[in-house]
Amino acid sequence: MTPTQQVKRAALDIGFDAVAIARAEPLVEEMKQYQEWLQRGYHGSMAYMERNPEARGDVRHILPEAASVIVVARNYYTPFQHEKGQVGKIARYAWGDDYHVVIPPMLDALSSAVAEIVPGSTSRRYIDTGPVLERQWAVRSGLGWQGKNGNILRRDMGSWFFIGVVITTAAFDADEPMEDFCGTCTACIDSCPTSAIVQPTVVDSTKCISYWTIETKGNVEFPLPIAEHLDGWLFGCDVCQDVCPWNRFETPTTEDRFLPRNDEVALYPTDILTLQPDQFVERFRHSPLKRPKLDGLKRTADYLVTPAKVMPSKDD
């Protein structure tokens, strides 16, 4: 096997479901689009997304001798569904253990494999934790195409997968970008409850339920259009992925840690409102639901149990 075939074999043996490789070249066109997205304020209060533009545009600012970017996917689909009209829904990616806990050891194992295949090489791994444009690298490498909902899609896995990246000085053969199979479909754009997909592949976070329920602090109130269209979501939102035709035939993950904790794909908002801090810490250890903190979850739960809170008063 060639070194490229060996590293791809290693990625699959470690447990990744797909792997593709790009040359570690500057993301010139991608950065232009990213900067425009920032300039329009579509990142909302996520100021960290403005930091380190040099590294985002060129991974050689992270690893000067970088030659390749290995991009991997790990399926998190489990065969459970929300019930119609369910309130307190959790986005699918957050049903099990946090990917920030599950995936890094796999990326470390891949980095070690690279060092064995190409002695003397060095690598850095990322999964949503540094100034690396994972989605753009997924497109560059041909891991998938970017759907109109902004997510990376594959015909064999839909979009229910995490993306990890290993930047390495080892030079491997690069793959070709994947064809875009969205075609004339606009199901995600048409179904978004808050019209957050402002043009194909472009999501305005400040209109997105996921952003408000996950990324904003508990003392931040939701704008009326968000509060009125929460559609039962307590943490995140999967509407634009649930309607995607490529997500109809997903194969369940082999990672048990992505199974819903306690078989729960939703939580009763009233239970959240009475949760004590020590119970929160215990219950959501290694869970993505820790991110908005207890007061953030309670804030969203409050909107779900008090729809009147978002209705204009008679005096308005």
- Candidate list 59, 239, 289, 304; residue touching ligand SF4; CB under 6 A: 239
- The reply on whether position 192 binds ligand SF4 by CB under 6 A is yes
Look at the block and give the residue holding tokens 């004339």: 184
State residue 121 phi and psi, 5-degree precision: -80, 155
3-class SS letters over 29-69: HHHHHHHHHHHCCCCCCCHHHHCCHHHHHCHHHCCCCCCEE
- The reply on whether position 185 binds ligand SF4 by CB under 6 A is yes
49 or 197, CB closer to ligand SF4?
197
Residue 249 Cβ vs ligand SF4, minimum distance, rounded to whole Å: 13
Cβ(132)–Cβ(168) below 8 Å: no
- The reply on whether position 198 binds ligand SF4 by CB under 6 A is no
- The reply on whether position 214 binds ligand SF4 by CB under 6 A is no
Cβ(50)–Cβ(58) below 8 Å: no
Task: At 257, list the tokens.
Answer: 């840690």
Active site residue 302: no
Q: Which of 13, 58, 108, 128 is catalytic?
A: 128
User: How many angstroms separate the CA atoms of 122 and 115, rounded?
Assistant: 7
162 or 172, CB closer to ligand SF4?
162
110 or 188, CB closer to ligand SF4?
188
- The reply on whether position 117 binds ligand SF4 by CB under 6 A is no
CA angle (228 as vertex; 225, 234 as ends), nearest 5: 110
Task: At 123, list the tokens.
Answer: 């690598």
Residue 116 Cβ vs ligand SF4, minimum distance, rounded to whole Å: 38
Footprint of ligand SF4 on residues 139-158 (CB under 6 A)? Answer: 147-149, 153
User: How many angstroms separate the CA atoms of 304 and 284, rounded?
Assistant: 20
- The reply on whether position 101 binds ligand SF4 by CB under 6 A is no
> Per-residue contact track with ligand SF4, 23 to 62, x per CB under 6 A?
----------------------------------------
- The reply on whether position 203 binds ligand SF4 by CB under 6 A is yes
User: How many angstroms separate the CA atoms of 215 and 128, rounded?
Assistant: 14
5 or 186, CB closer to ligand SF4?
186
How many residues of this chain interact with ligand SF4, rule: CB under 6 A? 25
132 or 237, CB closer to ligand SF4?
237
- Candidate list 20, 110, 127, 209; residue touching ligand SF4; CB under 6 A: 209
User: How many angstroms separate the CA atoms of 278 and 11, rounded?
Assistant: 39
- Under DSSP, the state recorded for 284 is T
Residue 296 Cβ vs ligand SF4, minimum distance, rounded to whole Å: 17
243 or 310, CB closer to ligand SF4?
243
Q: Which amino acid is at 69?
A: V
- The reply on whether position 188 binds ligand SF4 by CB under 6 A is yes
DSSP letter string over 152-208? EEBTTTBT-EEEEEEEESS--PPPPPPPP--TT--HHHHH-TT--EEETTEE-GGG-
User: How many angstroms separate the CA atoms of 88 and 300, rounded?
Assistant: 9
126 or 233, CB closer to ligand SF4?
233
Footprint of ligand SF4 on residues 240-269 (CB under 6 A)? Answer: 240, 243-246
Which residues are part of the catalytic machinery? 128
Query: Site residues (CB under 6 A) for ligand SF4?
Result: 147-149, 153, 182, 185-188, 192-194, 196-197, 203, 208-210, 237, 239-240, 243-246
